[in-house]
Amino acid sequence: MTLTPEAVARAGIKTAVVRHQAGSASITVPGTVTSNAYRETKATALVGGIVKDVSAELGAMVARGQRMAVVVSTELADAQMKYLSAQAMLSADHQKLTRTEKLVALGAASRQELDDITAVHAAHETEVAAARQRLLLLGLPAQRVAALRSADEIISELTVVAPGGGTVTSRAINPGQVVAAGQELFVVADLSTVWVIGDLYEKDFSGVRVGAEASATVPGTPPLRGRVAYIDPRLDPATRTAKVRVEVPNAGGMLRLGMYATVSFGVPSVAGAVAVVPRAAIQTIGGRSVVYVAADGDDGRFIERPVKVGAAAGDGVEVTEGLRTGERVVTEGSFFLRAEASRTRSGS
């Protein structure tokens, strides 16, 4: 077809030179979206007790340090009582040690008596330090421990906070439930990146390597590019496959845990170099792929040429048949040429 210079300008037609590069093929395997296990944190009960309140809902977004639940614990109260008792004994020993030092200086007490009292005082210092450390391990904030001076200040409620920011993917408690120390209460996952776990067949092992580029696709979303992070060294004897893990970004939470996906890996092709054109150059007519080639020496003449399309190649598409290096194909405006060609064929 031939267009006037005005029609070419009006259609905004631009061309690109066909280039050749090493061909590629792809391996596609089924996969499942899972959370990035390295970005999961678990909130556990540091003390046994009864759940008083739960404020973190399943699926909610939480920030690090945010309140998630409250546990009422007699164990925590008992530990504070032991700490106060140890402090009281240490205070009494300190006064006794001070008096004995003065008596020794006056010759009214022996050095042995001072050594005995000093040893007892040191033992009680150790007991106070141990009792304080236990309170910290039970989750009582350091500021709260430092301010603890009397039995009136003892608390029995411990707040469970989010150990990291993310989405609550597991909640194992409800109000009134009895929990034990060390029990898992919540799982918080950072879902800004997720894993897609696929099954790589034995015949494809040689074509996929850790660190290689890959893409994951779920229905209704564009492909997400990532990299192969891990290939299981163990082979499933029943399926003759090994697990392959691809880490992909999950901006906006498009990928949800448990989704089925297809995972594609690019591998070198045995076909050698192939032509590559921008994606916009490819048009589809009646199930055929065509491009519009600019005729040499005639800026307004374009030739519709059927081509055989191969794999995606970055921002372009491989063309395995129908083009030669150095030819110019229409990129912007190719849809206009398709419409013109269809109108010409129909005789309109």
Q: Is the pLDDT of residue 257 over 70?
A: yes
Report the range of poorest mean pLDDT among 41-55, 183-197, 224-238, 301-315. 301-315
Rounded Cα–Cα distance for residues 14 and 330 (Å) = 6
Q: In this predicted model, what pLDDT tens digit does every residue of 65-75 receive, in sequence order?
A: 999 999 999 88
Contact (Cβ atoms closer than 8 angstroms) between residue 333 and residue 281 = no
Rounded Cα–Cα distance for residues 73 and 169 (Å) = 26
Q: Is the pLDDT of residue 17 over 60?
A: yes
Rounded Cα–Cα distance for residues 126 and 36 (Å) = 43
Confidence of residue 322 (pLDDT cuts 50, 70, 90): confident
Q: What is the mean pLDDT of residues 12-19?
A: 84
User: What b/e readout covers 284-309, taking b as 16+ CB neighbours within 10 angstroms?
Assistant: eeeeebbbbbbeeeeeeebebeebeb
Q: What is the mean pLDDT of residues 331-348?
A: 77
The pLDDT, as a whole number, for residue 346 is 66
DSSP 8-state code for residue 44 = E
Query: How crowded is residue 241: how many other Cβ atoms within 10 Å of its Cβ?
Result: 19
Query: Tokens for 157?
Result: 């409620």
Q: What is the mean pLDDT of residues 211-228?
A: 86
Confidence of residue 270 (pLDDT cuts 50, 70, 90): very low
The pLDDT, as a whole number, for residue 314 is 60
Whole-number Cα distances in Å, 85 to 43, 78, 81, 82, 124: 31, 11, 6, 5, 10
Residue with tokens 């959370």: 35
Q: Is the pLDDT of residue 295 over 90?
A: no
Rounded Cα–Cα distance for residues 313 and 346 (Å) = 35
Q: Is the pLDDT of residue 318 over 90?
A: no
Q: Is the pLDDT of residue 272 over 60?
A: no
The pLDDT, as a whole number, for residue 313 is 62
Rounded Cα–Cα distance for residues 190 and 38 (Å) = 9
Q: What is the mean pLDDT of the chain?
A: 86
Report the range of poorest mean pLDDT among 77-91, 113-127, 130-144, 284-298. 284-298
Instruction: From 300, 321, 302, select the one nearest 310 (Cα to Cα).
Output: 321
Q: What is the mean pLDDT of residues 17-26?
A: 69
Q: Is the pLDDT of residue 271 over 60?
A: no
Residue at 146: amino acid letter: A
Q: Is the pLDDT of residue 326 over 70?
A: yes
Q: What percent of the chain has a predicted confidence (pLDDT) above 90?
A: 31
Q: In this predicted model, what pLDDT tens digit does every residue of 107-146 receive, in sequence order?
A: 777 888 888 888 888 888 999 999 999 888 888 888 888 8
Q: Is the pLDDT of residue 283 over 80?
A: yes
Phi-psi region of 139 (alpha: psi -120 to 50; beta: other; left: phi over 0): left
The pLDDT, as a whole number, for residue 348 is 55
Greatest mean pLDDT among 184-193, 205-214, 222-231 lies in 184-193
Confidence of residue 269 (pLDDT cuts 50, 70, 90): low
Instruction: From 317, 314, 323, select the one nearest 292 (Cα to Cα).
Output: 323
Report the range of poorest mean pLDDT among 38-42, 213-217, 243-247. 213-217
Q: In this predicted model, what pLDDT tens digit does every residue of 147-164 receive, in sequence order?
A: 888 888 888 888 899 999
